[in-house]
Chain A
Amino acid sequence: MGYPHPSHPKEQPVLSKHFGDAGARTFDGWVKRGGYAGLKKALGMTRDQVIDEIKASGLRGRGGAGFPTGMKWSFMPKEVTKPHYLVCNADESEPGTFKDREIIRWTPHQLIEGCAIGAHAIGAERIYVYIRGEFTQEHKILVAAVEEAYKGGALGPSAFGSGRRIDLVVHRGAGAYICGEETAMMNSIEGRRGNPRIKPPFPAVAGLWASPTTINNVETLSAAGHIITHGAEWYKAFCVGNPKSTGTKLFSVCGHVQKPGNYEVVMGTPMRDLIFDMCGGMRPGRTLKAVIPGGSSVPIMTAAEIEGCAMDYEGIVAKGSMLGSGGMIVMDDSTDIVYQVMRLARFYAHESCAQCTQCREGTAWTTKILERILAGQGRREDLDLLLDLADNMTGKTICVLSDSCAAPVVSAIRKFPAEFDAYISRQKQPVMVTV
């Protein structure tokens, strides 16, 4: 299948195999397509066996940080003295990222199955799926699927008769990007303001309601079912030369490509293949200028840096950026980098939770300077000021929202200085900055 485009031969559809297939949405439909076999198998295994299998598969967090999933699960206490919780992060709000949404929209049971396996592995009886508030249709689909999963026995007091209680609660966000940060998410679920918490204590020690908690991304959990069904070796084989990055990864490609959309490829696939083969390349007569490869929070890559870039955790880092969430924003030569960076900074200024000084004030100030440059009133010293503010905003706050605002600004100034100069030297017409 594939949605909105049929799968490209260079894709490796595992999670996206049933995208576009409405029949996969129902419990029966999912079972018919081989679903819930992984959960049934997992329920027959011990917690440690499940964790070992996930560890062996090499699965790493798909939300952005790339932390090994099996290891994260192994941090949960072996003895359950307090309730354990699994939180599924479905608050997909990173600009340029829209993969989790497709998973929930087409294959909600894929997610439910993965969640249940995760819950079993960490000794949790309750799962919270924190879904982005704007995902109204997906929320409806997910809630209907959860109801079916209870009826079908996958969830409830004894999941598939195993005696293991697994409950799933769908919790809707209310439109704050910061609630996608795992500790802010826990606060939000608890009914508090969605402010990130200081770590330590880490969630596996004191998370939701001060109890051991694991937070995983939708895509990560969705992969768990396939790994348990087909085995770690099968999953690990999805690899192009770098054993540290295995499996398949959904990339949400948006921007100036012929065919934007979600593409599931084996980790390590060349970025060039994705952009120029699968996505059909640039629009006619246009050339590639820049790519933000992992959602808006990572440094911008130039066209030159894309050459020879392997799309896995280490490959993109080697090129000076990060894999992040896999939300890829492609920009051709018609793009005004200064304007785009201003839009990003404005987003972070709007979404800063206001706790930490550097983030609250720095994101807004950065935006103002960029707006001033665009308005043709920039000064030579503004670029140094932006870089210095970015330095003051990086690595000094509770969460990384502040760093995320600084990263694209710094990389844009470093990699596209001429674009800033054009405004500052008044060679380029000022741009009306609108909302």
Chain B
Amino acid sequence: MTQDLVTVTIDGLQVQVPKGTSIIEAAKQAGVLVPHYCYHPSLPSPAVCRMCLVEVEKAPKLMPACVTTVAEGQVVHTDSPQARKARTGVLEFLLINHPLDCPICDQAGECELQDYVFQEGQAGTRYGDYAKRYNPVEEFGPDVLYVANRCILCTRCVRFMDDVAGAPVLNVSERGDRAHIGIDEGQLLDHPWAGNVVDLCPVGSLISRDFLHKARAWDLDKTASVCTGCSQGCNVTLDTRDNLVVRIRPRANLEVNRHFICDTGRMNYRWMNRGDRIEAPLAREGGHHVATDWEPALARLGGLARKGGSVVLLASAGASVEALTQLRALAGQGRVTAAVQVPLAEQEEPLQGVSGLALRKERAPNADGARLVGYGTDWAGAVRAAAGADLVLLLDVTLTDAEAALVGGAAAVVVLGTTLEQVLPVAELVLPVTTVAEESGTFVNRDLRVQRFQQARTAPGMARPAWWVAAGAAGADLGSAAEAFAAAAATVPALGGVTYADLGLNGRAVQSPGRRADGVPA
């Protein structure tokens, strides 16, 4: 592909970037971060914060790097005395009315004002004795609070609602230093994607009530993961504190979710911290479940699987590709019925400004991965088949009473489960498996994009990844998630040749014959 490239020099480093690139993005290519507030790569640029003013040789004055496009031979100085003074000036102006309440501010530690002031602000204030601007905290919506005093008027939130969400309920009210973010009369910030304004806010002005005073940013561990809320497969970060997931935030992936996630996905983490977990393998002995060790449990499972006959696999569409593959392998080559349960919502919740991004009807992360591995979606049919099966394997599913009654008709039932409510009294074996937060693995989203998620917290008790359980029972020797993926890639045609290295942390789309135009395999 030939593209018009221009060569620019930024802080002495030469870079080649496509024509039309902004200086701020070109600088990123050169490894130079130009400090900025209003600019965001997923929003239109208003150039209002004036933080990214840089010196461009031959320009009459400092230029905003966010809206100035590169030109051939341009020489840019982001750290010249002039540019530095302008930035220091902006920081000083931003600070005169900004409360020094960092010790109680949720944003502290991940605050761009804090960071840049630390980097190049002044230690003292010249503002003197004046009182700072005051406005009370406002409730913008069910989860979003607006702390006006901290606001630096970058307008990212206004632009997100106007230009991305297409629900223009936020505005800049008033003028001059009385200005603040307002919400239209009678409106609520309750758009299904509204929570993104909290992430977009560079300071602690828009904050999440859900996360309010929950944890300090520097105490959080951050783990790359994939949202389990629907088949979109938004890239997320799981923030954990003391082994508890306390927040989900979007992780940038321009191909999938840009910089956004929906509120449903954002709030979809409490179950990861559930305490009512199965913590040890349970084997049925004389009418009771008795805790046992993995070795006998796996041996017993292997024995059941080797018996042959009809096997029914009932799995969650939230199970990983690796788990589904190993479970399918364990079931053998006989009469096998495999199905995943895909919760369906009535409607999609699209994000208007980003094409191809929506909270999807299929409310599970790996429905398409399951299809690729060979699982069907006729859940009811599979449950009926389970009634007369020789062996039923359940993977992380919670059955209704009626379904449990049908499954109870099988000759043998083995539960690979996470929570105690998944334990069936009739089960021969109940084996504790890990959740998405406790293991590493891959999901395939609706666009057949294979994406990795990583382990964010330790597993409770003796719980193990389901692929480890199934592989162990089958006698396969898999030592790591990477090996489990390699094994899946070797058996699932669509994944042929794909490696962890290919996937990186942003995933890779694969091809599958017979895939319909709407992204759902036929």
Contacts and interface: CB of A to CB of B under 8 A. Distances in A.
Interface stretch (B87-95, B377-385, B396-404, B486-494): B87-95
Of listed B94, B130, B175, B178, residue having the most chain A CB within 10 A: B175
B127 A365 contact: yes
Nearest to B177: A364
Interface string B33-56: 000000000000011111101000
Interface string B129-172: 01000000000000000000000110000000000000000011
Which of A351, A385, A398 is packed against the most chain B CB atoms within 10 Å?
A398
Interface residues of A, number: 29
Interface string A354-370: 11111011111100100
Contacts of B47: 198, 398
Given A365-B127, A368-B130, A395 B62 contact: yes
A136 B61 CA distance: 40
Contact of A350 (B51, B53, B93, B175): B175
B49 A357 contact: yes
Interface in A253-291: none
Interface in B48-91: 48-51, 53, 61-62, 64, 67, 85-86, 89-90
A354 B152 contact: no
A118 B171 CA distance: 36
Given A355-B46, A356-B48, 17 more contacts: A349-B176, A350-B175, A351-B175, A351-B176, A354-B175, A354-B176, A355-B153, A356-B50, A357-B153, A360-B177, A364-B176, A392-B85, A392-B86, A392-B90, A392-B93, A396-B62, A396-B86
- A-B pairs, top 8 by smallest CB distance, nearest first, are A392-B89, A354-B179, A361-B93, A364-B177, A352-B176, A355-B48, A395-B61, A357-B93
Contacts of A385: 126
A362 B176 CA distance: 9
B259 to A, nearest CB: 23
A310 interface: no
A353 B175 contact: yes
A104 interface: no
What's the dominant secondary structure at chain B's contact region?
loop
Contacts of B96: 361, 365
A397 interface: yes
Interface string A415-430: 0000000000000000
A385 B124 CA distance: 14
A360 B62 contact: no
A354 B46 CA distance: 13
A155 interface: no
22 contacts: A176-B175, A178-B175, A351-B176, A352-B175, A354-B176, A354-B178, A354-B179, A355-B48, A356-B49, A357-B48, A357-B50, A357-B94, A357-B152, A357-B153, A358-B90, A358-B93, A361-B96, A392-B85, A392-B90, A396-B61, A398-B47, A398-B48
A231 to B, nearest CB: 37
A329 B493 CA distance: 83
B264 interface: no
A140 interface: no
Given A362-B93, A385-B126, A354 B50 contact: no
B176 A360 contact: yes
B4 interface: no
Which of the four size classes fits the interface of chain B?
Answer: 20 to 34
A414 interface: no
Given A198-B67, A356-B50, A392-B86, A361 B177 contact: yes
Contacts of A380: none
A193 interface: yes
Interface of A: 176, 178, 193, 198, 349-358, 360-365, 368, 372, 385, 391-392, 395-398
Contacts of B153: 354-355, 357, 360
B82 to A, nearest CB: 10
Contacts of A391: 89
Contacts of B94: 357, 361
B174 interface: yes
Contacts of A350: 175-176
Given A360-B177, A396-B61, A354 B85 contact: no
Contacts of A392: 85-86, 89-90, 92-93
Nearest to B133: A364
Contacts of A363: 176-177
B273 interface: no
Given A193-B172, A198-B67, A365-B96, A349 B61 contact: no
A193 B171 contact: yes
B97 interface: yes
B441 to A, nearest CB: 46
A402 B67 CA distance: 20
A395 B96 CA distance: 21
Contacts of B172: 193, 354
Contacts of B178: 354
B392 to A, nearest CB: 63
B50 A396 contact: yes
Query: Which residue, of B62, B92, B152, has the highest number of chain A Cβ atoms within 10 A?
Result: B92
A343 to B, nearest CB: 15
A187 B51 CA distance: 24
A354 B177 contact: yes
Contacts of A368: 130
A396 to B, nearest CB: 6
A341 B58 CA distance: 34
Contacts of B64: 198
Contacts of B127: 365
Nearest to A176: B175
B59 to A, nearest CB: 11
Nearest to A177: B175
Given A354-B174, A392-B89, A395-B62, A360 B130 contact: no
A434 to B, nearest CB: 18
A29 to B, nearest CB: 41
B477 to A, nearest CB: 61
Contacts of B67: 198
B89 A358 contact: yes
B170 to A, nearest CB: 12
A354 B172 CA distance: 9
A358 B89 CA distance: 8
A352 B96 CA distance: 17
B176 to A, nearest CB: 4
Q: Which of A356, A362, A395, A398 has the most CB of B within 10 A?
A: A356
Contacts of A178: 175
Contacts of B49: 356-357
Contacts of B48: 355-357, 398
A178 B175 CA distance: 10
Contacts of B90: 357-358, 392
Contacts of A193: 171-172
A142 to B, nearest CB: 27
Contacts of A353: 175
A396 B176 CA distance: 17
Nearest to A364: B177
Interface in B85-126: 85-86, 89-90, 92-94, 96-97, 126
B97 to A, nearest CB: 7
A364 B177 CA distance: 6
B51 A357 contact: yes
